[in-house]
Structure 1
């Protein structure tokens, strides 16, 4: 039986320390801030990132270099026969496509890149699922197939606290941002598959939370066989607002009795585009094998 390693990137929310504890390798995502290179959870913490964002620093995301990926893969392959690599969604970054190209050209049969359109806590769950399947003795191809079967069975709903960073990144027009700010709108976005789309507009935080909880309830009813089936994971994420996030976790768990919500900071690659103060909730179908 092949010894299979699971690798993901820091967009999953899995820290370097947590990765060591879980037996999952984590590629740190690179950032350029005011012309200087940083790597998530190596020389850039969540707190430092949002401090720089608040200072209106010039922040841009990047993808792991081919050399850094190959260096990690080569190191891991000294101890393992094969690798399952689960990067962030190809719809949100070019890192997945680059990894696919490197794997097919240099590591055929050794490295399997999974493009199952995940980010943050949903990407984390995929890494955990892959590790469980590897430990259970499934082959690398079987693990890939199971993850890809579940590809579209996940949604993320995110409520923004500010439109400033969407405007700064050119994702909405200055006029739309100004109008939204004037009306104090709390946009709710959705990530399903490879797209980040507008989902709803709320006038208050309470209304935005209600919209997200109702969206999850609709997914449970229409996609996951109802509450009694329980064939899903509910998780949450946030950007630089832990106290509000803990209150959000409590509210979600009250809305879905019997379901404990895992909570992580939202990926910095997403956080840099939506800013601090955001809250998110996700639902993901369980993988059965």
Structure 2
């Protein structure tokens, strides 16, 4: 049996993670001296409520290697193999923690993959890996397919303000917009493992509509069905609108809707909405 492991920035809905036996290692969100496990010690709703009244912006931290080691040791002890898929190494030290845990165990059947993405883009890849594991695929087959799919996953998002990305040090290529007109609503993407500016748009609604338009264009160009994830940070109505548009305009094999967790919420802030798309390429026989 192959166990699928990921981290809490994958934004996988809790019920889906349970259904597919996905093991999630939490990152940390830190308010002053208080360290909280992402989605375990604090929920998304509780986090964003606390963020409103916090005098300073919280910080985040990757899981220590010991957290991955515990999960890996349990799998190996029970005779299982592991495919571990985590947030981009350019956005977090989580990949390094997982690698160190694997190295501690020596020559073991564990594959650790740097996804180069995060949020529901990562979540969609992890879901595919878990479905393959349930169907009896080998560790090598799962890793090969996921490595093929990851570069083809699109993650597009609109933030309400660049303040959180800038203060959290994750602003990447969007740095060029800092100090420009407040009315600018940047349409952002993940490119090369980092946050990057895709387009400048004048209003929030236009940015969201443009995001959907680009997603539809990419889906059409791919010429195959997609799995889609819609993500939001306390913007459920806009998320429902994006989901409705995705169902109508994209060839959706299925769609997941999820709220962004505390760790990613620290860096993008409330009001963020986005869409992730993964083409369902035919499996090679």
Fold match by TM threshold 0.5: yes
Partner of 2:17: 19
Mapped contact 2:2–2:82 kept (Cα < 8 A): yes
What residue ranges of structure 2 are gaps of 5+ in the alignment?
Answer: none
Deviation at 1:175, TM superposition (A): 10
How far the C-alpha of 1:151 sits from its partner, in A, is: 2.3
Aligned to 2:148: 149
TM-score, L = length of structure 1:
0.87
Q: What runs of 5+ residues in structure 1 fail to find an aligned partner? A: none
Partner of 1:251 in structure 2? 245
Q: How many residues align?
A: 280
1:111–1:234 CA distance, 2 compared to 1 (3 A): same
Change in CA separation of 1:89 and 1:253 when aligned onto 2, cut-off 3 Å: same
For 1:131 and 1:197, how far apart are their aligned partners in 2?
Answer: 29
Q: Distance in 2 between matches of 1:221 and 1:176?
A: 30
1:179 corresponding residue in structure 2 = 180
Deviation at 1:272, TM superposition (A): 1.2
1:42-77 CA deviation, whole Å, 9 max, x = no partner? 111101211222224331111111112112222233
The two structures have a TM-score, normalised by structure 2, of: 0.88
Asked whether the equivalents of residues 68 and 97 of structure 2 are also in contact (C-alpha less than 8 Å), the reply is: no
Counterpart residue number, 1:213: 212
Please say if 1:271 is aligned against 2:265: yes
Q: Give secondary structure in 2 for the equivalent of 1:114.
A: strand
Distance 1:86 1:102, change over 3 A: same
Q: Which residue of 2 aligns with 1:79?
A: 78
Query: Is the alpha carbon distance of 1:140 and 1:281 closer, same or farther for their aligned partners in structure 2, counting shifts above 3 Å?
Result: same
CA 220–287 in structure 1, closer or farther in 2 if over 3 Å, else same? closer
Shift of 1:210: 2.2
1:261 aligns to what SS in structure 2?
strand
- Contact conserved, 2:39 with 2:261, CA < 8 A, in 1? no
